[in-house]
Structure 1
Amino acid sequence: MKATLLISAAVLLATPGFAVAQSSMPGMEMKDAPGTVARGEAAPAAMDHSGHSQPEAAVPAPVAVDPHAGHAAEPKPAGPPRPEAIDHSGHDMNAMTGMSEGDPAIGTAPAPAPPGDHAADTVFDPAEMARAREALRRENGAFSGSMVLFDLAEFQARKGRDGYRWAGEAWFGGDVERLLIKTEGEGAFGEPIEDLEIQALYSRAISPFWNAHVGLRHDIVPNPSRTYAVLGVEGIAPYWFHLTGQMFLSDKGDIRARLEGSYDERITQRLIFQPRAELNFSAQDMPVIGVGSGLTDFELGARLRYEIRRELAPYVGVEWSRKAGDTARLARLAGEDPDAVSFVAGVRVWF
């Protein structure tokens, strides 16, 4: 490459046009290019240029060719003219007290009526689809049903005379409002019933897991019988504890309370272990029915049941009951044992 450039430069200098150009530039003294010899002079001996290096000539970069040159692009539509910026620095906005953005006006037009037609009626029998929609409405909140449950129906083997006990309820209504009937009692074989009560309650759901109760309770036994106003709650506490709490106000002005709790521990899908507890309280002494103030009595029990069917589950277990405080004292005065342990066998049934 260097050799080619040297040869080109020598040829250019040797051309007459180049010499004329040099002589036609007055006031400028052009030195002879290295390596040239004046006319009429003997050429000097050839010089060795092997140690000389000449910088490479800059090669012009290729001109980029636009492949879209000559294509006429469609002009874009002109947008709206931009308003000139206005300087508000001198404006006092605090003085504009009479201007407020305010809330947008609320429409008063009535909501459109819900559609009365159903797309499925164009494919299936409209009468059948109407019955299906009614069944869906009942099953998803507007149903009415009923249930009878005897949670306890048992024989009690204990010191002295063996006894019996039951505790059950029945409800009628929907998933929010129900009429609830409760009953429980106990006694010894060959003797009169010791306790018998019945409750009629209005039950209403106050949360997904809790119901509130209000109604009446009537104690048939012991004598004299008494009637109470009832206020209570029943539901499922965290960790699936079933709890019931009730307060009673009698027609004599007596105040009593009851707290019950149980827990179903599933050993298998059908074998269930259930611990159970009940505590009763009284705000005052009622010696005529053998009840003292404070904690009157409590029961602790454990039962193991096997569900032959969900509706039928025989069980066995043990229960300890004890009268406390002044109630225990009144029981001793009446010749009764305030403490009792019973082995129980019974059946839990619902329908």
Structure 2
Amino acid sequence: MLAAPLAVAAGLPATTFAQGHASHASHAGHTEHAEHSTHGIYAEPAGPQAHASNDVEHTGHANLMDHSASSMGHDMDQASQEASSMDHGDMPMQGGSTPANARDPDAYSGGHVRNAGKFSLPPSEASHMSDTHYFGSVQFDRFEHVRAQGEEWGAYEGEAWYGGTYNRAVVKAEGEVAGGKLRHSETQLLWRHAAFAYWDTELGLRLDHDHGAPNRQWLAFGIKGLAPYWFEVDATAYVGPGGRTALGLHAEYDILLSQKLYLQPAVEMNLYSKDDEARQIGSGLADVTAGLRLKHEITRQLVPYIGVEWAGKFGRTADYARAAGESRQQTRFVAGLSFRF
């Protein structure tokens, strides 16, 4: 600020000083002047007036920002007051009766309804879920010829069922035929229900028939399914007249030798609570049968096999067999066919 008076005192023209000062400012790259020059179209001269102008400009911006923030805060406060003063009882809430102006969910269909009208399919072509269909099947695990100690006879074991995925009517049958006559048979009429992922419960009746002996009837309740490690298990409890009870257990397992050839070990046992002399059955463990069959799948529906099995009688049942001149143990050779359709 003292440079101008000194220049006048020295006799230098003011114009020369201004040019020199401007040149010095351009070489020094006056930061403050460059920053403020971006706000205008042309650069303002440096000096007290420029600083005063810049101060006014910054003050104006600051006042404008303060005013905007104040206005925004005022609007938010007003919105909060309005929200707090709103009557929530007037707001529509979920539940309750349907509003009078609610949209009809069937309005878009043009009056058409499901399974009716000219565009509906006939019952024979209507779509159904898989568990609503009913199926039927007949399968025989054993249909075989048996040879043991010079004797020969035929044996069968199988079941037929009809129903859906969860409930089925089942007929189980097994027996022996010798000399063209039915020597022994066991028939069960059951209602099978899928109670668990791999297990079915069974409830029904059982009828036993033995040639030359009285028939027996039982109420049956059992469970059938696939145990861990792929063991097929069938366990059934029976209750008969006169306080008679029995328990039948059967288990088998498939040992794969190839995609078509496999070994099938199986074991079966029967237990009774009372002696039945007329049918030569004693209390406790009555009999056990263990077999091994080699099966070859021609198809899943047709499986021929050969095998060997051992059968033994125990306890009072063995005593009845000895008294009748029968063997308590037998080794049997079998050849047969498993099939289903």
> Scaled by the length of structure 2, what TM-score is found?
0.68
- Report the residue type matching 1:137 in the other structure: H
Q: Post-superposition shift, 1:66? A: 8.8
* SS of structure 2 residue aligned to 1:217: strand
- Report the residue type matching 2:128 in the other structure: R
Match of 2:132 in 1: 142
| Equivalent-residue separation in structure 2 for 1:152 and 1:325 (angstroms) | 28
| Equivalent-residue separation in structure 2 for 1:67 and 1:320 (angstroms) | 112
Alignment partner of 1:283 is 2:273: yes
C-alpha change, 1:108 and 1:312, in structure 2 (3 Å) is farther
C-alpha change, 1:128 and 1:332, in structure 2 (3 Å) is same
Question: Could you report, residue by residue, the CA deviation over 1:280-308 in whole angstroms, capped at 9, with x for unpaired residues?
Answer: 11112222211111111111111111111
| Equivalent-residue separation in structure 1 for 2:146 and 2:179 (angstroms) | 14
* SS of structure 1 residue aligned to 2:327: coil
* SS of structure 2 residue aligned to 1:162: strand
Match of 2:330 in 1: 340
Match of 1:160 in 2: 150
Alignment partner of 1:218 is 2:207: yes
- Out of 194, 199, 215, the residue aligned to residue 188 of structure 2 is 199
Aligned length: 272
Which segment drifts farther, 64-73 or 282-291? 64-73
Question: Could you report, residue by residue, the CA deviation over 1:207-229 in whole angstroms, capped at 9, with x for unpaired residues?
Answer: 12111111111112151101100
Match of 2:15 in 1: none
Question: Could you report, residue by residue, the CA deviation over 1:252-293 in whole angstroms, capped at 9, with x for unpaired residues?
Answer: 321001011111223222222211111111112222211111
* SS of structure 2 residue aligned to 1:285: coil
| Equivalent-residue separation in structure 1 for 2:172 and 2:214 (angstroms) | 20
Q: Post-superposition shift, 1:205? A: 1.1
Match of 1:80 in 2: 76
Which structure shows the bigger proportion of residues in helix conformation?
2
- Out of 228, 232, 247, the residue aligned to residue 242 of structure 1 is 232
RMSD: 3.9
Alignment partner of 1:256 is 2:246: yes
- Report the residue type matching 1:184 in the other structure: E
- Out of 169, 173, 189, the residue aligned to residue 179 of structure 1 is 169
| Equivalent-residue separation in structure 2 for 1:113 and 1:205 (angstroms) | 37
C-alpha change, 1:143 and 1:60, in structure 2 (3 Å) is same
- Out of 199, 214, 222, the residue aligned to residue 232 of structure 1 is 222
What percent identity do the matched residue pairs reach?
32
Match of 2:314 in 1: 324
* SS of structure 1 residue aligned to 2:270: strand
| Equivalent-residue separation in structure 2 for 1:217 and 1:67 (angstroms) | 109
- Report the residue type matching 2:136 in the other structure: S
* SS of structure 2 residue aligned to 1:239: coil
> Scaled by the length of structure 1, what TM-score is found?
0.66
